[in-house]
């Protein structure tokens, strides 16, 4: 969530002039500056690594009210679907000023900057000294990171290149994770969030972190299998929380959010919990992103198919009777069969209208016959009026908000964790699921 961060007070470093930071990060919001690693418990002096509000990566050391060194990328990093591997190598003993701080993003070294004030020879910043270090916020308790982190490494005393933590896939050309890099961590080194939400250091150095604030949860979404979240690029995204899986309509009007992943073919399953039901006739369903309108509702266009909380279904602004009503606490399942062009909805594990998502072209109990040859995304919307609605989506991450599913259903694909049984032949909307 937006105020979650981890913290630890470092000890005496192995070498305060050399360190490496590497982390895989998935961004879910793009509003405001978001610090992912920082030091100090006041605004000066402070060393901060962050995503700027404009999407650039910004690295700086502030002391005495002045920037001692600072770097801002030319590139803007606004991908809300994939994971970024950010590697920062610091070595102030290097003779060439341009080699004292190096940055790689997904294996590509940044060599030109929009802002560049180089590190002076043999200087020691606050990072990797005996002060508080925070993951997910700046040193003064603001600029919280909003998204997910995985495989976070800090190395004290050595500046390693990005090739230590990842490599380029010879077939796809993508940057892929090295899950067990060979490094010497040093006295302040750590390895966090390897395969779980534990704050225990996996480096062997015993440098465990504590939870400073908020809630940390494990997600199935990871650099090797990217799961869908709600898309923050499509509209103002300040109403997305919990790594892009909670949607709060606080706009006072119509509002819509859709998934970052979609498909033309295949069979996919997702769940959404009506954590707080509000507004006029909230809607859950799928939409062709070409018909997306962030200030409208799923079932208004001829590209959106919605199940309304009053039990109706809606397409092209025409609502007809369909199933049961749903309310706060109910979990709606969505089975999207793009091979047979059918769409099904369940409420708390029971398929509406006696639906059978495994019935193929027969489409027993399907809510809609879908237009063929169209790309669809999962989505939800709500109309204006009433209490702000809150939807918690589970695209296979295994959580609704910060609550794990109570009793995971069966899932033959073994991709994702859901509350209820995944219909046979269906899978999660993730990169591995898309390749099933």
One domain for residues 266 and 208: no
pLDDT in tens, 92-118: 999 999 999 999 999 999 999 999 999
One domain for residues 273 and 409: yes
| pLDDT-derived band at 282, boundaries 50, 70, 90 | confident
Strands 132-135 and 34-39: what pairing?
antiparallel
Distance of CA 26 to the CA centre of its chain: 4
- Domain at 406, CATH number: 2.60.120.920
Burial of 393 per CB tally in 10 Å (0-12, 13-18, 19+): buried
| pLDDT-derived band at 381, boundaries 50, 70, 90 | confident
Q: Is the predicted pLDDT of residue 256 greater than 90, yes or no?
A: no
Most confidently predicted of 140-144, 249-253, 400-404: 400-404
| Residue 96 counted as domain residue | yes
Q: Does 101 or 79 have the greater pLDDT score?
A: 101
Dihedral sign, Cα of residue 120, residue 125, residue 128, residue 129:
positive
Strand, helix or coil at 352?
helix
Element of type H or E holding 391:
strand 390-394
| Residue 235 counted as domain residue | no
One domain for residues 169 and 271: no
Q: What pLDDT, on a 0 to 100 scale, did the predictor assign at position 252?
A: 63
Q: What is the mean pLDDT of the chain?
A: 92
One domain for residues 285 and 367: yes
Q: What pLDDT, on a 0 to 100 scale, did the predictor assign at position 297?
A: 87
pLDDT in tens, 62-73: 998 899 999 999
Q: Does 244 or 26 have the greater pLDDT score?
A: 26
> Distance between CA 83 and CA 371 in Å, rounded?
32
One domain for residues 101 and 206: yes
Q: What residues make up the domain containing 26?
A: 5-213
Q: Is the peptide bond before 45 cis (omega within 30 degrees of 0)?
A: yes
| Residue 187 counted as domain residue | yes
| pLDDT-derived band at 250, boundaries 50, 70, 90 | low
Q: Is the predicted pLDDT of residue 253 greater than 90, yes or no?
A: no
| pLDDT-derived band at 408, boundaries 50, 70, 90 | very high
- Count of domains observed in the chain: 2
Q: Do the beta carbons of residue 328 and residue 274 sit within 8 Å?
A: yes
Burial of 33 per CB tally in 10 Å (0-12, 13-18, 19+): middle
The 8-class DSSP code of residue 110 comes to P
Q: Is the predicted pLDDT of residue 182 greater than 70, yes or no?
A: yes
The residues that bridge with 153 in the sheet, in sequence order, are: 22, 191
One domain for residues 205 and 250: no
In this predicted structure, which of 111-120, 124-133, 240-249, 258-267 has the lowest mean pLDDT? 240-249
Mean pLDDT score, 391-403:
94
In this predicted structure, which of 5-14, 294-303, 383-392 has the lowest mean pLDDT? 383-392
| Residue 131 counted as domain residue | yes
| Residue 227 counted as domain residue | no
One domain for residues 100 and 18: yes
One domain for residues 208 and 309: no
Q: Do the beta carbons of residue 34 and residue 145 sit within 8 Å?
A: yes
One domain for residues 179 and 244: no
Q: What pLDDT, on a 0 to 100 scale, did the predictor assign at position 386?
A: 65
One domain for residues 87 and 207: yes
pLDDT in tens, 314-346: 999 999 999 999 999 999 999 999 999 999 999
Strands 240-241 and 304-308: what pairing?
unpaired
Strand, helix or coil at 62?
strand
The 8-class DSSP code of residue 266 comes to S
Q: What pLDDT, on a 0 to 100 scale, did the predictor assign at position 247?
A: 87
Mean pLDDT score, 362-372:
97
pLDDT in tens, 29-46: 888 899 999 997 767 889
- In this prediction the pTM is 0.92
| pLDDT-derived band at 385, boundaries 50, 70, 90 | low
Q: Do the beta carbons of residue 150 and residue 222 sit within 8 Å?
A: yes
Strand, helix or coil at 298?
helix
Q: What pLDDT, on a 0 to 100 scale, did the predictor assign at position 384?
A: 62
One domain for residues 60 and 209: yes
Tell me how far CA of residue 160 lies from CA of 10, 19, 188, in angstroms: 20, 8, 15
Last residue of a domain, one of 178, 213, 248: 213
One domain for residues 92 and 193: yes
> Distance between CA 242 and CA 273 in Å, rounded?
14
Q: Do the beta carbons of residue 247 and residue 300 sit within 8 Å?
A: no
| Residue 201 counted as domain residue | yes
> Distance between CA 220 and CA 292 in Å, rounded?
27
Q: 365 phi and psi, to 5 degrees?
A: 70, 15
């Amino acid at each position: 969530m937006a105020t979650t961060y981890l913290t630890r007070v470092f000890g005496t470093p192995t070498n305060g002039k050399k360190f490496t930071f590497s982390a895989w990060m998935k961004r879910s919001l793009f509003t405001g500056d978001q610090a992912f690693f920082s030091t100090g418990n006041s605004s000066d002096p402070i060393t901060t690594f962050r995503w700027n509000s404009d999407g650039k990566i910004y690295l700086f050391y502030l002391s005495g009210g002045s920037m001692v060194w600072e770097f801002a990328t030319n590139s803007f990093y606004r991908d809300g679907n994939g994971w970024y591997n950010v590697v920062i190598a610091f070595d102030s003993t290097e003779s060439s000023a341009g080699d004292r701080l190096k940055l790689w993003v997904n294996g590509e070294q940044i060599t030109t900057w929009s802002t560049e004030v180089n590190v002076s020879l043999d200087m020691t910043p606050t990072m990797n000294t005996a002060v508080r270090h925070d993951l997910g916020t700046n040193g003064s308790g603001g600029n919280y990171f909003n998204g997910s982190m995985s495989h976070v490494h800090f190395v004290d005393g050595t500046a390693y290149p990005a090739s230590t933590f990842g490599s380029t896939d010879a077939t796809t050309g993508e940057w892929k994770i090295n899950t067990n890099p060979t490094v010497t961590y040093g006295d302040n080194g750590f390895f966090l969030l390897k395969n779980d939400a534990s704050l225990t250091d996996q480096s062997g150095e015993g440098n465990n972190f504590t939870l400073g604030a908020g809630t940390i949860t494990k997600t199935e979404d990871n650099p090797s299998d990217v799961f869908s979240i709600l898309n923050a690029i499509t509209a103002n995204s300040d109403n997305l929380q919990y790594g892009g899986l909670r949607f709060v309509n606080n706009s006072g009007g119509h509002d819509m959010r859709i998934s970052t992943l979609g498909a033309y073919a295949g069979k996919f399953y997702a769940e959404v919990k009506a954590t707080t039901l509000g507004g006029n006739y909230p809607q859950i369903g799928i939409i062709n992103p070409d018909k997306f309108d962030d200030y409208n509702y799923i079932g208004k266009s001829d590209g959106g198919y919605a199940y309304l909380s009053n039990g109706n279904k809606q397409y092209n602004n025409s609502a007809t009777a369909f199933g049961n009503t749903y309310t706060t606490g109910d979990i709606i399942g969505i089975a999207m069969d793009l091979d047979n062009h059918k769409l099904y909805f369940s409420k708390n594990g029971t398929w509406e209208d006696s639906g059978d998502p495994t019935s193929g072209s027969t489409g027993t109990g399907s809510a809609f016959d879908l237009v063929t040859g169209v790309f669809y995304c999962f989505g939800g919307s709500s109309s204006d009026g009433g209490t702000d609605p809150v939807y918690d989506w589970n695209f296979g991450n295994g959580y609704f908000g910060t609550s794990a599913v109570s009793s995971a259903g069966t899932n033959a694909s073994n991709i994702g964790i859901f509350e209820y049984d995944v219909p046979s032949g269906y899978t999660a909307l993730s990169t591995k699921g898309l390749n099933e």
